[in-house]
Amino acid sequence: MAQAERTQAAAQEAPNELLTGDAYLESLRDGREVYLYGERVADVVDHPAFKQAARSTAHLYDALHDPKTADTMTTVDPHTGNRVHRFFTPARSAEDLMKAREAIDLWARMSYGFMNRTPDYKASFMAGLAVTHDFYEPFGDSARGWYERYAKQGLSISHAIVNPPVDRNKAAHDVRDVYVRVVEERDGGIVVDGAKLMATASALTHAAFVGQIHLANLEKGKAEDLALAFIAPMNTPGMKVVCRPSYEMKANSPYDNPLSSRFDENDSVLIFDKAFIPWENVLIYRDTEKVHEYFPRSGLLSRGFFQGAIRMAVKLEFMAGILDKGTRLNGTHSFRGVQAGLGELLAWRHVTEAVTTAMAADPEPGPEGTVLPKMAYAAGYRALAPLSWERTHRFFEEHLAAALIMTPASGADMLNGELRPLLDRFYRGSAGSSEERVRLFKLAWDALGTEFGGRHELYELNYAGGPDQVRLDTLAWSRAAGLLDDYGDLVDRCMADYDLNGWTRGRWSE
């Protein structure tokens, strides 16, 4: 048997413990404390605030097993021998990253780019535990154990690394009544108290990663009780998930709210009310230096922006399709300004996709023979991505304008026998029926103008951090990597070509 055939046969025989869609839904019935509108949610799987979002995620898990998509989505993990999602294990070549991009893209297309915290999002961090577990000593076994469990099952893990926006003018150790800190150490683990945000989609995940953002600036000798990183299963006693309003629950119908009715990733605050965290779930404990280092050491930054850029390219592609169809239905698609706006939106989409190609095809070395998406390209995407969504809003508001809101209140109006002939006359499109026109513009409004759309605008602006900080981080990273020195050398080379007396070298001086 040829080597390629043996490899393929081994891959087909690899153990497959990845969750199916049904298994994922059942796994959410674990006694977690989720609160919404003053009540504890008894069952997130069937609650009207979470039901369709849960099923949207279940579709992702089904794709891991569907014969049509399984090969694109999965590979064999060299660390465990199990079949895993391609992005849930570290990449060892540019080819691995390119294949991981295909898997991320396939999942992103299943929500048209509008589910941001799908299970592969936290793979940007969790996969790194396989090759960086030594960094977390004396909790290296915790890191390794969580990686193996996570990758084998394809678990969904949210994260909460931001301190609540309370007393931010004070040092973190002066806000101990709010920020997550350890309040007791026991033989079997630690007891923590405090709050963290924003745990996007946490009501529908299996666990939450809780850590510190790298800007927390915890002072050595003063903030050790806050210098923590751990993973908390969602049914951890004492952990409460406090949700924002549910856009899914407010959705009128699939016709009226085709996005918010099924893709609402409810953001929440995690409150730890003297919650017990076993040692096997702890990664960093009372170490102010290490808690500031795990961001760059983990691969989270470049891998996270790789996943985010792939999703954003799909989202921009989807919006370009809506804008094109909308202007055709309005009969304005041939107007010069409209064409220019659509052209720029397409340019943002193409550039975003090109960045993901460059990040994968031109990677940089990672730990233990792995590779990471190139950080320079990731930093560029991180700084420019919010502009692409801001411009998208502008194009729709300029070129579709009142058409975005010139729709009947609901699909029920379209079903009214007396009203329908009038709607067919006055709501028709230049290139389609009234039903088609109304359906498209309700889709556009759900993407941009509803509460769901407003949340996405806020999310994309702050996805990678505050706008100023994103740019400052790009500068700091480029300076630390020596790039500005290289760029300055290029300037010096240019100025060495001439002086007050004229050209000093090259053919110019002849």
For 320-323, which contacts have Cβ atoms below 8 Å and span 24 or more sequence positions?
320/345, 320/346, 320/349, 322/396, 322/440, 322/443, 322/444, 322/447, 323/395, 323/396, 323/399, 323/400
For residue 328, what pLDDT is reported? 93
For residue 3, what pLDDT is reported? 43
Q: What is the crossing angle of helices 375-399 and 336-361, to 10°?
A: 160
Q: What percent of the chain has pLDDT over 90?
A: 80
Q: Is the pLDDT of residue 296 over 50?
A: yes
Domains detected in the chain: 10-296 (2.40.110.10), 299-465 (1.20.140.10)
Q: Is the pLDDT of residue 335 over 60?
A: yes
Q: Is the pLDDT of residue 11 over 80?
A: no
pLDDT digits (tens, 9 = 90+) for 464-482: 677 788 888 888 888 988 9
Range scoring the smallest mean pLDDT among 148-152, 294-298, 442-446, 461-465? 461-465
Range scoring the smallest mean pLDDT among 8-12, 150-154, 464-468? 8-12
Give the mean model confidence (pLDDT) for residues 47-54.
Answer: 98
- 238, 276 in Cβ contact below 8 A? yes
Question: Please, what sign has the CA dihedral across residues 371, 375, 380, 383?
Answer: positive
Q: At 434, is the secondary structure helix, strand, or coil? A: helix
pLDDT digits (tens, 9 = 90+) for 187-231: 999 999 999 998 999 999 999 999 988 666 788 999 999 999 999
- DSSP string of 136-154, one letter each residue: GTTSHHHHHHHHHHHHHHT
For residue 1, what pLDDT is reported? 45
Give yes or no for a cis peptide into 126 (omega within 30° of 0): no
At residue 6 the predicted structure's pLDDT band, cuts being 50, 70 and 90, is: very low
Structure-token pair, residue 427: 């709501």
- How far is residue 360 CA from its own chain's centroid? 17
Strands 83-85 and 207-210 come out as unpaired
Q: Is the pLDDT of residue 8 over 60?
A: no
For residue 320, what pLDDT is reported? 96
